[in-house]
A and B are shown apart, each in its own frame.
Chain A
Amino acid sequence: MSVVWDRRRTAWAAGWRAFAAQRSGVAGLALLGLAVLVAVLMPLLTGADALNVARVVAPAWEPPGSGHLLGTDHTGRSVALLVLNGTAVSLLVGLTAAGLSVAIGTLIGVTAGHFGGWWGALLMRVTDFFLVIPALVLAIALSSVLPRGMGTIILAIALTSWPSTARVVRAQTLAVEARPFVERARALGGGHLHVTGKHVLPAVLPLVLVNTTLTVAYAIVAESTLAFLGLGDPTRLSWGSMLHQAQLQGAVSKEAWWFLLPPGLGIIAVVLAFTLVGRALETVINPRLRG
């Protein structure tokens, strides 16, 4: 058994070396590290009253420069602080929703691929059904029916983004199960749980990892979209809810670009970081993509 794990460890180490060789991937990872650091540290560094609408004293709609790096919002809060503090919810929702989505996708994909037959066909038709429903429309419908809150947003995003993962994972499962070592495992009396858990899952894991990073990027955009449309949790600070507030309070009419641009750039930065990391990982597990 330990031989297998040794071999796997070596493979992961080789994978990391291949990843580290790609500058864009490393840059994305660094950007991500920074974002996580900001998300974790900012709530601790921000004073209790700095984002408290009832406590701030600065005038509203102040342009950047005059005492506030990125100006102030409609209540006089610093936009710079808002953006930095919004990182946490955006990342949290993005990661959780992506995790949930990939978990559903993997479960359905592996099950469909492993069992095949009419059961697999049924699962795949369900997947196709979800695949053809416009994701944003379904997410909007879900988040307006369910009670408002972060959990609802996570659920709405997860339920709309799992089908592509399921398809990819099913394909990989079929490929893995065709290999002789799986047949051997079966011949030695390995049950469904053994085959899928000990052989198939480890083999599809790298793929799932890549899929997760890319799904996170989608989930963050989706969260921002839903929050911007006013379907998010209005009491929680995120980049999407900042854009929603800006739009609601008349930032566009007011020409307060400093309230609109920073959260938008935050979304772009994090989405870009996840995409870069995801593509680099893809190159690692698929040598054909290496230039």
Chain B
Amino acid sequence: MRAKVLRLAAAIIAVTITSPFTSPPSAMAQAQPPVTLKVAIVQQIDSLNPFIAVFQSSTEVGRLMYDYLTAYAQADQKVVEGVAKTWEPSPGKLTWTFTVPDGKKWSDGKPLTARDVAFTYNLMLTNEVARTANGSFVANFESVTATDDRTVVVKTKAPQITMTALDVPIVPQHVWESVTDIKNYANDQVPVVGSGPFVLTEYKAGEYIKLKANRSYWRGAAKYDELHFVYFKNADAAVQALAKGEVDLVNRMAPAQFDSLADKENVTRNKAQGRRFNELLINPGAQTRTGTPIGDGNPALRDVRVRRAIARAIDLDALVKRVNAGYAEVGTGIIPPVFPKYHWEPSAAERRTFDAAAAKAELDAAGYPPKDGVRLSLRLLGRAGRAYDEQASEYLKQSLADIGIKIDVQLVSDDQLNQTTTAATYDLAFSGWGTNVDPDFILGLHTCGQRPGADGTGGTTDSYFCDAEYDRLYAQQLSEFDEAKRVEIVKAMQARFYDQVPSVVLCYENALEAYRSDRFSRFPVQPQTGGVIMAQNGVWGYYGAEPAAQSASSGSGRSWLGIAAGGVVVLVAAGGWFVARRRRATAEERE
């Protein structure tokens, strides 16, 4: 009761304060408040430009704004209608004809046609910067032409398996044909014209992203009005906001946070198999596409024996048990077990079991004997404020110290980490990628062609890996239309990657999500069993969310701990203030 009175008082004060600047309260009361799904996010957005954006958060927002040529079904991730409804390969699989049905519209009312599709792909073919984020999909394209408004014909140089899995946002030609400088085009002129289920209407870097449901979306409009992404500085704050009912959906929680929500009222948890992997990059001697060395990675790491020794010194089981609190699966290949068809497990002979003694022997053989107990000194880069990096770095520091490798842990901001890994000025670094239904994209990240160009830009190589054998297999799988054979090649590639260790796949974290069941009754997960709500291969989780029957919720679940923690902070602050006061007082007295 008291809380209600207080809240009422606060509301009155708020209205009193703001009323001179807003419309009269009576007008506001008449309008039905929009039903809004508020999603807490912690990762920053690197760009809203779909040709540049590589962060998971950015591609997720991109998917909401722009449809791809095809989509993946919610239940089983099979390829279904996207911009194109039907598609037909020629007998030799070199020419693909996609049909865009009539009636699809951009959010500004202009028709969405095959010409937009052709424009997008041709832009990527002709402009290197436009290939930054999704270049691997079009690398093998010969030509793309729209023969009429409904038909687009893609010719490829060699048969390409991913023709129905082109994860490229299709952009409107009438907006983008006037963009001359793609690299610096922020794409934040709201409302941003798109074709997806939501339209970007407001964006403030580091604060929020607001989208409105696209009423003319061809699949039908979403069942609620607005979708807001709200930034939180850390996951704890996001979890607290969920517990209090300030946000409706949270993901990427730490195990302790997930556990703490176990018996919270009105909160439903979802533990899903993640489609991401965490990895430890080992700089294998970074070079540009033209073969010029870049960065300042430790030259010792160019020796595959050293990389293998490092991989062998890491106890992955212990990492999963202690750092992930068991909410993860031990890493092997670069395709997570959520895609069982392509996921690769090493055979007993291939598997590198944790063995510090063997690792030391390998380092001895490679010519790095210990000098005063130290064989090598390496930098380990991670993201400050990311629980996994902060904790796992301590384990790795210990594990590698045990084999005589001294680690200097450097935890930096998101942007700094991105810059450092792009410039290859690291020895070891934490990284991770989300994988798609079709493995082509994630496999392509490790090919020679994905390394940056001569000017240091372009390409999204993950690890600066460049291996002739791997590239040969990559080209082979791209044109292998017999699925069983392709699976074999994909697994062979992962085995090669595992053997050459440009990075150690540490684990596949479970996706730990939770939502307010009093606000939204159901979120479609993908795939149907053990699937995720956020970070899907699609937008079903957001698009298909069903608002709960309206009930005035008052979830003020502030725990006594929060009060205690607040108390400590206040005490410390008061102490500091007191000290400051004292000093000022004496200073004044003396002068």
- From B235, B315, B579, A250 is in contact (CB under 8 Å) with B235
A264-291 interface code vs B (CB 8 A; 1 in, 0 out): 1101100110010011001000100000
Q: Is A100 an interface residue (CB 8 A)?
A: no
* Known contacts A168-B590, A171-B590: A75-B384 contact under CB 8 Å: no
User: Who on chain B is nearest to A288 by CB?
Assistant: B589
User: Who on chain A is nearest to B242 by CB?
Assistant: A253
Binding-face segment, B93-101, B269-277, B388-396, B527-535: B388-396
Q: Is A218 an interface residue (CB 8 A)?
A: yes
**Chain A neighbourhood of B559, CB < 8 A:** 255
Cβ contact within 8 Å between B236 and A264 = no
Q: Is A76 an interface residue (CB 8 A)?
A: yes
Mostly, the B contact residues are helix
Binding-face segment, B55-63, B405-413, B464-472, B495-503: B405-413
* Known contacts A167-B591, A250-B254: A148-B412 contact under CB 8 Å: yes
* Known contacts A54-B395, A221-B572, A255-B559: A214-B583 contact under CB 8 Å: yes
B566-578 interface code vs A (CB 8 A; 1 in, 0 out): 0011011001101
Q: Is A116 an interface residue (CB 8 A)?
A: no
**Chain B neighbourhood of A252, CB < 8 A:** 236, 240, 561-562, 565
* Known contacts A54-B398, A268-B575: A254-B411 contact under CB 8 Å: no
Q: Is A85 an interface residue (CB 8 A)?
A: no
Interchain CA distance A104-B578 in the complex, whole Å: 23
CB distance from B491 to the nearest CB of A (A): 32
CB distance from A217 to the nearest CB of B (A): 5
**Chain A neighbourhood of B561, CB < 8 A:** 252, 255-257, 260
Q: Is A185 an interface residue (CB 8 A)?
A: no
Q: Is A160 an interface residue (CB 8 A)?
A: no
Cβ contact within 8 Å between A254 and B256 = yes
Interchain CA distance A251-B580 in the complex, whole Å: 30
Binding-face segment, A36-44, A176-184, A241-249: A241-249
Q: Is A172 an interface residue (CB 8 A)?
A: yes
Cβ contact within 8 Å between B239 and A253 = yes
Interchain CA distance A223-B518 in the complex, whole Å: 42
User: Who on chain A is nearest to B254 by CB?
Assistant: A250
Cβ contact within 8 Å between A171 and B260 = no
**Chain B neighbourhood of A260, CB < 8 A:** 561, 564-565, 568
Interchain CA distance A268-B574 in the complex, whole Å: 10
User: Who on chain B is nearest to A168 by CB?
Assistant: B587
Q: Is B265 an interface residue (CB 8 A)?
A: no
B243-287 interface code vs A (CB 8 A; 1 in, 0 out): 100000000011111011100000000000000000000000000
- From A250, A268, A275, B257 is in contact (CB under 8 Å) with A250
Cβ contact within 8 Å between A234 and B384 = yes
User: Who on chain B is nearest to A167 by CB?
Assistant: B587
Q: Is A74 an interface residue (CB 8 A)?
A: yes
Interchain CA distance A189-B411 in the complex, whole Å: 57
Mostly, the A contact residues are helix
Cβ contact within 8 Å between A267 and B385 = no
* Known contacts A167-B587, A171-B590, A252-B561: A230-B384 contact under CB 8 Å: yes
Cβ contact within 8 Å between B409 and A235 = yes
Cβ contact within 8 Å between B579 and A275 = yes
**Chain B neighbourhood of A224, CB < 8 A:** 572
Interchain CA distance A256-B260 in the complex, whole Å: 10
**Chain A neighbourhood of B591, CB < 8 A:** 167-168, 171
Q: Is B582 an interface residue (CB 8 A)?
A: yes
User: Who on chain A is nearest to B322 by CB?
Assistant: A75
Q: Is B399 an interface residue (CB 8 A)?
A: yes
**Chain A neighbourhood of B411, CB < 8 A:** 148, 234-235
Cβ contact within 8 Å between B582 and A54 = no
User: Who on chain A is nearest to B259 by CB?
Assistant: A254
CB distance from A141 to the nearest CB of B (A): 13
Q: Is A55 an interface residue (CB 8 A)?
A: yes
Cβ contact within 8 Å between B590 and A74 = no
Interchain CA distance A279-B543 in the complex, whole Å: 63
Q: Is B584 an interface residue (CB 8 A)?
A: yes
**Chain A neighbourhood of B9, CB < 8 A:** none
**Chain A neighbourhood of B410, CB < 8 A:** 148
Q: Is A61 an interface residue (CB 8 A)?
A: yes
Q: Is B162 an interface residue (CB 8 A)?
A: no
Q: Is A121 an interface residue (CB 8 A)?
A: no
CB distance from A172 to the nearest CB of B (A): 7
- From A76, A249, A267, B322 is in contact (CB under 8 Å) with A76
Interchain CA distance A264-B574 in the complex, whole Å: 13
User: Who on chain A is nearest to B410 by CB?
Assistant: A148
Interchain CA distance A218-B581 in the complex, whole Å: 11
Cβ contact within 8 Å between A253 and B261 = yes
User: Who on chain A is nearest to B583 by CB?
Assistant: A214
CB distance from B463 to the nearest CB of A (A): 24
- From B315, B413, B579, A221 is in contact (CB under 8 Å) with B579
CB distance from A171 to the nearest CB of B (A): 5
Q: Is B318 an interface residue (CB 8 A)?
A: yes
* Known contacts A235-B409, A268-B575: A248-B398 contact under CB 8 Å: no
Q: Is A11 an interface residue (CB 8 A)?
A: no
Cβ contact within 8 Å between A234 and B409 = yes
Interchain CA distance A222-B584 in the complex, whole Å: 17
* Known contacts A253-B261, A261-B564, A282-B586: A248-B234 contact under CB 8 Å: yes
Interchain CA distance A167-B591 in the complex, whole Å: 8
**Chain A neighbourhood of B254, CB < 8 A:** 248-250
**Chain B neighbourhood of A255, CB < 8 A:** 260, 559, 561
CB distance from A255 to the nearest CB of B (A): 4
Cβ contact within 8 Å between A275 and B582 = yes
Interchain CA distance A144-B411 in the complex, whole Å: 12
Q: Is A111 an interface residue (CB 8 A)?
A: no
Cβ contact within 8 Å between A279 and B387 = no
B301-321 interface code vs A (CB 8 A; 1 in, 0 out): 000000000000001001000
User: Who on chain A is nearest to B398 by CB?
Assistant: A54
**Chain B neighbourhood of A164, CB < 8 A:** 583-584, 587
Q: A53-B322, A168-B590, A222-B576 are in contact. List 13 more A-B contacts (CB 8 A).
A: A75-B391, A164-B583, A172-B590, A211-B583, A214-B579, A217-B579, A221-B579, A249-B391, A250-B254, A250-B256, A253-B261, A260-B564, A282-B586
Tell me the A residues contacting B by CB distance below 8 Å. Answer: 52-55, 60-61, 74-76, 144, 148, 164, 167-168, 171-172, 207, 210-211, 214-215, 217-218, 221-222, 224, 230, 234-235, 245, 247-257, 260-261, 264-265, 267-268, 271-272, 275, 278-279, 282, 286
A–B Cβ pairs within 8 angstroms, 30 of them: A53-B322, A75-B322, A75-B394, A148-B412, A164-B583, A168-B586, A168-B591, A214-B583, A217-B575, A218-B576, A218-B580, A234-B390, A234-B411, A248-B234, A248-B236, A249-B387, A250-B255, A250-B256, A252-B561, A253-B236, A253-B260, A254-B259, A255-B260, A260-B561, A261-B564, A268-B571, A268-B572, A271-B576, A278-B582, A286-B589
